[in-house]
Structure 1
């Protein structure tokens, strides 16, 4: 990925979209974001994580506008693993990052810390940036959440560091109890966690340029409230309308300029 801008704004489509709808959505985002002041000025860096079958189309449509990643990868590099996709294949398709350890993968497919560790190592060995999902299972004190997130990061990177692998890390803080909820976690709670986690990832010598972004029912309006404590947002269903991506980019412009978000318009600005 290119040098990290002020804010990273990412979107995962999970398995909500058909291929046709993914293509339509990517075209909408490309038309909106390609000329947006936040993107043109280097203040916002976009990434999109579509379903596997739409990766190549997304790469073509979003070329020069957003990086494209995959939603998962195999822990193995090659072999008789029917249905799996390796990091090498993902990188060959032009992806720069890969999502690892999402709470849904843990809950629905039994992925534990050992699996996350192996996949993080595989991603780094393939030259991919791990988009490592971290978060606590239950709502509790933010100090405890931060400790758990730091533990998850250190555990995920342990084998990679032992093997001499290095690279950039994007840690996506997604408290499990906030995923799919009507509202994100409270802004004060988010920043209490992410500020501590960000201090930690920025202290890792083998992973320069690493970032901490927030997901978990994130959408337009949140960045303004948490901008001092995060490096960006990881959006899900609240970005299913491309205009919502535009609204978040408006917030980026507003935060950088130190002006209210609703005063940003024209030249690529979009509101919802």
Structure 2
């Protein structure tokens, strides 16, 4: 049986909590200006601002093909959940993608695989795409051991989410080794390819599209080295400069 065709490439960036309100909207306008360029035929683009600017960001991006993301959600559509954000409201506000399970959320706020899975189910239930961050905390200097450790640590993160969402909905898995986030260099390309190939096997029987992106100090030249295993990149602070974001998108579109 021939291998299944790979999904469309995709690039995205999260602004986390780095920008103020006006800087965020200025950045989103910059992303809007990237729409309609030659690489659009091959690459999807998404941007994830903060909650406060979500509706205005949706207005800015309304006539574009850029997908809008949110940085988190609750797993219930409504209720007595002070300070939380409803997935139903995120969808109504214009979000297409919801990022969940980031290493910061897991480490600082104690989010568990069960919580992340419930959030993924809520995102899918409301017609949006779960963008699920997964990755291992520990790393071995022995390459073969590092891959095995990573796969086994990521396995419950992946399987719990896939069991919580309908089989036919799109899911994006963002492979972000925790030890590589904020590092001077991305993870070793061979490591990323070998781990993401195993992640793809975990989702291999799904009817819905499963795209895998890499995050963790990604930048220019990263995608070409790991394209065998991933469908795109999930960028951080490097891409907070629009020109850097454009450079990476052009590279992926041309690869």
**Aligned runs of 1:68-87 on 2, under 5 Å?**
68-87=68-87
Q: How far is 1:216 from its partner?
A: 1.1
Q: TM-score, normalization: structure 1? A: 0.85
State how far apart, in whole Å, the 1-side matches of 2:170 and 2:254 are: 27
Counterpart secondary structure, 1:234: strand
Q: Distance in 2 between matches of 1:134 and 1:25?
A: 26
The Cα of 1:158 is off from its aligned counterpart by 2.6
For residues 120 and 36 of structure 2, what CA distance do their matches in structure 1 show? 34
**8 Å Cα contact 1:5/1:45 also seen in 2:** no
2:23 counterpart of 1:18: no
* Secondary structure of the corresponding residue to residue 46 of structure 2: strand
| Match in the other structure for 2:10 | 8
Counterpart of 1:211 in structure 2 is 211
CA distance in 2, matches of 1:233, 1:25: 19
Any unmatched runs of 5+ in structure 2?
A: 1-5, 141-145
Number of aligned residue pairs: give it. Answer: 244
Superposed CA RMSD in Å reads 1.6
Q: Is 1:143 paired with 2:156?
A: no
What is the aligned partner in structure 1 of residue 157 from structure 2?
A: 152
Question: Which sits farther off after the overlay, 169-178 or 212-221?
Answer: 212-221
In structure 1, C-alpha distance between the alignment counterparts of 2:160 and 2:174, rounded to whole Å: 15
Output the CA distance in 2 between the equivalents of 1:5 and 1:196: 16
* Mapped partners of 2:7, 2:200: distance in 1: 15
1:182-212 CA distance string (max 9 Å, x none):
211111111111112123223223xx11111
Q: Which residue of 2 aligns with 1:37?
A: 38
Counterparts of 1:65 and 1:156, CA distance in 2: 27
Sort the Cα spacing of 1:6 and 1:122 in 2 relative to 1 into closer, same or farther, 3 A: closer
TM-score, scaled relative to structure 2: 0.90
Aligned partner of residue 46 in structure 1, secondary structure: strand
Match of 2:60 in 1: 61
Query: What residue number does 1:105 align with?
Result: 105
1:116 shift after superposition: 1.1
8 A contact 1:44–1:249 mirrored in 2:
yes
Whether 1:183 aligns to 2:188 is no
Please give the alpha-carbon distance, in whole angstroms, between the structure 1 residues aligned to 2:182 and 2:161. Answer: 24
1:160 & 1:222 partners in 2: Cα distance? 30
Give CA deviations for 1:107-149 in whole Å, capped at 9, x if unaligned: 1111112211221121121122110001101113112212332
- Residue 170 of structure 2 is aligned to residue 168 of structure 1: yes
Contact (CA 8 Å) 1:36, 1:249: kept in 2 or not?
no
**Whole-angstrom distance in 2 between the partners of 1:234 and 1:178:** 13
Check the 8 A contact 2:168/2:206 in 1, yes or no: no
Shift of 1:227: 1.5
Residue from 191, 194, 198 that aligns with 2:196: 194
Q: Deviations 1:10-66 (Å, cap 9, x if unpaired)?
A: 1000001111101111112222x1242101xx2110011110011112222223131
Asked if the contact 2:70–2:90 (Cα under 8 Å) also holds between the matched residues in 1, the reply is yes
